[in-house]
Amino acid sequence: MINIPKSWYAGCLVLIAVIALGVFVIPQVIEQQRSRSTKTGSIPVVNNSFNTVFSGEGPSIAIDPLPATVQVGILVPIRIRAQYEAGIASLVVLLNDQSVHVPDILPGQQALETSYLWKPVIEGSFAFRVIAQGMDGSSSEQQFALAAQFIETNEEIMLEYVAQEDVNPAAVAYGLGICFKQLSDANPTLSEIKPGDVILIPYLLNKQPITDCPTPDQFDSYFPNLIGAQIGIITTSLYPVGEPYEIARGFGCHQFATGRDNDPRCEGDAAGPNFHAGIDFEAKQGQPITSATGGVVMHAGPDRADAYDCTSWQGSDEPKRGFGNYVMIRKDDLEFYYAHLSEILVEEGQVIDGRGYLIGYAGSTGCSTGPHLHFEIRRNNSPIDPMEEFFNADD
């Protein structure tokens, strides 16, 4: 007779218990968890205090509440807001350490709101990181995770999308198989939407996309505040090139040419014989230029009044005359000139609500030897020093 040790029996019992646990118990637990999330069609909302981790001393980062579990194949708008008094230099969204979204930021921009539309294609858990860097070199980071799975439900959910300039919300909805009428029904004030506003997009999970919607380009004119319109406030900086800023040439008399050679106002001035009626801010080609104050746009186009021809100037772009392309905004008894622009985004007669509105892009048109912004203020058609009487003036 074979003598079997008692320890062998004990090992067999443990093995049998493990097999039973794997075959009978664990599948039931998994099925129970699955039925909890799919039986009612509910999508639990993330408790951000547990799902996100914030670190750093730089810009504050806020992420709107997200579903804890998202549906595979469905676009998920991830809405991100950042704010920093010293100005935001950059923001990047990383998905599993790969850069997936880098919004444009103006120099010195203090507040940013952006949406990243993420569409999971497989089930699994996904790690996100949002990293923001301040103009002062500081940085901060927000981390969160989302799980994607196939959810068996016909529940309608509302996707939140942040309106963007020159992006037709009807096109965003159309890409999800949502017709304009459905979008309009969900947003009673849709035609009044402005950049930064939240649009609700009704979405029925697991439905077949509608294929007979009117094409979204038919509705461009329905969004006057978005499509080809004045953008909202994009910076709180008083300076039209943002902050920090550099001045290439100040107001007053200079030795080198300014377009006003041997001006009587500089006769006998030790600084030089050439008068500069404004200040030149350093700016890169195409850099956004914003309004320093509100008012009415009195001129938006090429300089037709200045007889000074700059055809021979190296670095000058068309139109090669005076201010080139420029914008003049009048407020009370002051006129604000933004000159040498490569592109103008406002129209004559348009009312600018205040500081920080995008009005054009820097360039080198007119009497200019390289990209910059000539900023000039006139009172009763007489130039005044912008630094002393506007930027540094007491309120």
Are the CB atoms for 340 and 323 separated by under 8 Å? yes
Are the CB atoms for 341 and 302 separated by under 8 Å? no
Provide the greatest CA pair distance for the chain. 126
Give residue for tokens 């622009």: 341
Dihedral sign (CA 205, 210, 213, 215): positive
Residue 43: per-residue pLDDT: 32
Residue 156: per-residue pLDDT: 66
**Who contacts 264 (Cβ-Cβ below 8 Å, separation ≥6)?**
none
Residue 50: per-residue pLDDT: 32
State both tokens at 63: 């992420």
**Who contacts 373 (Cβ-Cβ below 8 Å, separation ≥6)?**
240, 241, 280, 281, 283, 287, 289, 338, 339, 340, 341, 362
Domains of the chain: residue spans and CATH: 48-222 (2.60.40.10), 247-391 (2.70.70.10)
pTM score, whole prediction: 0.46
Fill in the amino acid letter for 342: S
Are the CB atoms for 80 and 117 separated by under 8 Å? no
State both tokens at 50: 């547990």
List average pLDDT for each run of 10 residues in the chain, which is 395 residues long.
55 53 42 36 33 67 76 79 88 91 80 82 90 91 86 66 74 76 83 79 62 65 58 67 84 71 69 82 85 92 78 80 91 93 89 86 87 92 89 66
N- to C-terminal Cα distance for the chain? 107
CA 307 to chain centre: 40
State both tokens at 282: 């350093």
Residue 129: per-residue pLDDT: 93
What number of helices (H) and strands (E) belong to the chain? 6, 24
